Amino acid sequence: METIHMQPSQYRKLAGCTLFITGASRGIGKAIALKAAKDGANIVIAAKTAEPHPTLPGTIYTAAEEIEAAGGKALPCVVNVREEEQIISAVEKAVKTFGGIDILVNNASAISLTGTLETATKKVNLMMDVNVRGTYLTSKACLPHLRKSKNPHILNLSPPMNLNPIWFKNHCAYTISKYGMSMCVLGMAEEFRGEVAVNALWPKTAIHTAAMDMLGGAGIEKQCRKTDILADAAYCILTKPKSFTGNFIIDEVLLREEGVKDFDVYAIAPGHPLIPDFFLDVEIDTTAVKQKGYGAAQALKEEKTESAPAKPSGPVAETFRVIQGAMTEENVRSTQGIFQFELSGDGGGTWYIDLKNKGGSTGFGKPPGTADVVMSMSSADFVKMFTGKLKPTMAFMSGKLRIKGNMALAMKLEKLLTQLNSKL
C-alpha cells in the first residue's frame, strides 16, 4: 500500500536524481529506495547480500527488480561498508553509470543490545566499523561527487544525541556507534554548509523490519509502524533545499509539520500501543528538531528521581505473594520457564518465579533450578510492570529492563502478565 501525502504539483521531485543507499536490500533502506523509484530516480543499492540469506529476506538483485518495477533505475553493487575498496568501487560504478551522485543515505547498521561485559570484541568491531567508520568513509567517498550536484543531501539513519545515561548503561557500544553517526551529521553539516545538506532521521516508534523481529520475537510487529513512515519522512527531507541542514529529525514530528494527520496508515495494527524507539525520552517532548545538548548532570538527576523506589521493601514482597496466589497449573504448563529477577533498590535482591516445576512457585533468593531468563531492573519498575503500569516490551526498549537468556520465554511472560494484571 502506498501512502503519498504530497500535492500533485510536487510529484516526481527526485526524477533523474541518483541515490546511493547503503543497506538497501531490505527494511528501511529498501523502503526509501522504492519511494524515490516512484519518482523515476536512479538507485545504487550498496549492500552485502548477493546470495539469498538463510533467515533474512531479499538480496541486492531482488531489491533491484522491485526498484525497476516501481519506475526507477537500479544498480546493485556488493558493498560491505567495512571494506573501503568496495565503497570506492561502487561510487565509481555509480558515477560511470548515472553520471554523478545527488543523494547519499547512510542506512547500513549493526546492532547488539548488550552490556559491556557481554559484548564480544568482534561485535564491538562490527558496530564501530559499520555504523561509525562505514558512514564516515561512504560520506567521504561520495562528497566530491555530491558537491557537483544541484541539490545534494546526505541523510544518516541515526538518533538525536540524548546524553541521558539511561541510553548508555545497557548497550554502551551500540549507543557510541549510533551517536558516532550523529556526530558525522553535526560535523559535516557545518563543514559543508552551503554546499551539501547533511541531516539525521530517526523514528519515533519501533519500525517493523527483520532486525526488529530478531530483537523482539514473534508478535512484536503489532507494536511497530511500517517502514513507509521513514520512507515518507526521508522523501520530505531529500526534496528540501540544501540550506535545510544540520537537523536531527524525528519522522512523526516532521510529517505532522508537513500536515499529515492520520498516522494509523503507518501502523501494522492500528490502535495497538506502539513501542517508543531508543534514545527518545518518552517523557520529553521530541518536537525539537535542532540538536540540543542534554546536560549529563540534569539527566542523572532525572534518572534518579525516575527510578526512586516506590515504598520501602513492602511492594516487592507483596507482588511476589500475589503472583504465587494467582498462579495456575495451566500457567505452568503453557509457560515452562524459570524467571530470575535481579532487583535494585528497596526490597530488591534476587527473586524468582518458577513456571516450570509442578504447581509453580515464587520466592526470594536463587530459583530451584537454572533460570531460563534473567531480568534486571529497579524494584519500583518491577512493581509497575507487574501491576500493568509498565509494559515489559516498553521497559526493555527504554532501557529500564535488561533481559538475558531466552527472549521467546520473556515474551511469554508478557502475555502471562496481561492475564495476571486483573488479579494484581
Stronger pLDDT, 44 or 213, i.e. the higher one: 44
The pLDDT mean for the chain works out to: 86
Does the pLDDT of residue 375 top 80, yes or no? yes
Does the pLDDT of residue 253 top 50, yes or no? yes
pLDDT of 312: 33
Q: Is residue 340 part of a domain?
A: yes
For residue range 255-312, what is the model confidence (pLDDT) as tens digits? 999 999 999 999 999 998 888 888 887 533 333 344 443 333 333 333 333 333 333 3
Residues 74, 157 share a domain:
yes
Stated as kind and residue range, the H or E segment containing 407 is: helix 407-421
pLDDT of 301: 35
Beta bridge partner(s), residue 21: 45, 105
pLDDT of 322: 81
Q: Is residue 8 part of a domain?
A: no
Q: For the domain that residue 205 is a member of, what is the CATH number?
A: 3.40.50.720
Q: Which of 207, 231, 266 is the last residue of a domain?
A: 266
How many angstroms separate the Cα of 382 from the Cα of each of 209, 281, 341? Answer: 29, 19, 9
pLDDT of 10: 53
How many angstroms separate the Cα of 89 from the Cα of each of 94, 138, 142, 298, 345? Answer: 9, 11, 11, 46, 55
Amino acid at 142: C
Per the structure, the count of domains in the chain is 2
For residue range 153-165, what is the model confidence (pLDDT) as tens digits? 999 999 999 998 9
Does the pLDDT of residue 147 top 80, yes or no? yes
Q: For the domain that residue 384 is a member of, what is the CATH number?
A: 3.30.1050.10
Does the pLDDT of residue 195 top 80, yes or no? yes
Residue-wise DSSP of 36-82: HHTTT-EEEEEES--SPPSSS---HHHHHHHHHHTT-EEEEEE--TT
SS3 of residue 201 by DSSP: strand
The band of 46, judged by pLDDT with boundaries at 50, 70 and 90, is very high
Stronger pLDDT, 414 or 377, i.e. the higher one: 377
CA distance linking residue 66 with residue 70, whole number of Å: 6
Residue 169's contacts (CB-CB under 8 Å, 6 or more residues apart) are: 115, 399
Stronger pLDDT, 269 or 5, i.e. the higher one: 269
Q: Which of 225, 241, 266 is the last residue of a domain?
A: 266
Among 46-50, 208-212, 281-285, name the one with the lowest average pLDDT. 281-285
Residues 103, 162 share a domain:
yes
Mean local confidence (pLDDT), 138-150: 98
For residue range 62-104, what is the model confidence (pLDDT) as tens digits? 999 999 999 999 999 999 999 999 999 999 999 999 999 999 9
pLDDT of 421: 63
Q: Which set of grid coordinates corresponds to residue 19?
A: 541515490
For residue range 95-106, what is the model confidence (pLDDT) as tens digits? 999 999 999 999
Does the pLDDT of residue 217 top 50, yes or no? yes
Stated as kind and residue range, the H or E segment containing 144 is: helix 135-146
pLDDT of 22: 98
Q: Is residue 274 part of a domain?
A: no
Instruction: Judge residue 392's burial from the number of C-beta atoms within 10 Å of its C-beta, 0-12 exposed, 13-18 middle, 19 or more buried.
Output: buried
pLDDT of 388: 76
Residues 251, 137 share a domain:
yes
DSSP label at residue 155: E
Q: Is residue 412 part of a domain?
A: yes
Residues 241, 97 share a domain:
yes
Q: Is residue 209 part of a domain?
A: yes
Residues 189, 109 share a domain:
yes
Residues 339, 231 share a domain:
no
pLDDT of 333: 86
- Domain of 157 in residue numbering reads as 18-266
Q: What percent of the chain has pLDDT over 70?
A: 88
Does the pLDDT of residue 383 top 90, yes or no? no
Residues 62, 204 share a domain:
yes
Residues 319, 211 share a domain:
no
Q: Is residue 125 part of a domain?
A: yes
Catalytic residue annotation: 174
pLDDT of 216: 74
DSSP label at residue 326: H
Q: Which of 266, 300, 331 is the last residue of a domain?
A: 266
pLDDT of 396: 80
pLDDT of 7: 38
Q: Please identify which residue in the block is written with the cell numbers 547519499.
A: 104
pLDDT of 422: 58
pLDDT of 419: 67
Residues 374, 257 share a domain:
no
Residues 339, 242 share a domain:
no
Residues 167, 48 share a domain:
yes
Q: Is residue 273 part of a domain?
A: no
For residue range 18-32, what is the model confidence (pLDDT) as tens digits? 999 999 999 999 999
Q: Is residue 3 part of a domain?
A: no
Among 7-16, 171-180, 330-339, name the one with the lowest average pLDDT. 7-16
Residues 106, 250 share a domain:
yes
Does the pLDDT of residue 9 top 50, yes or no? no
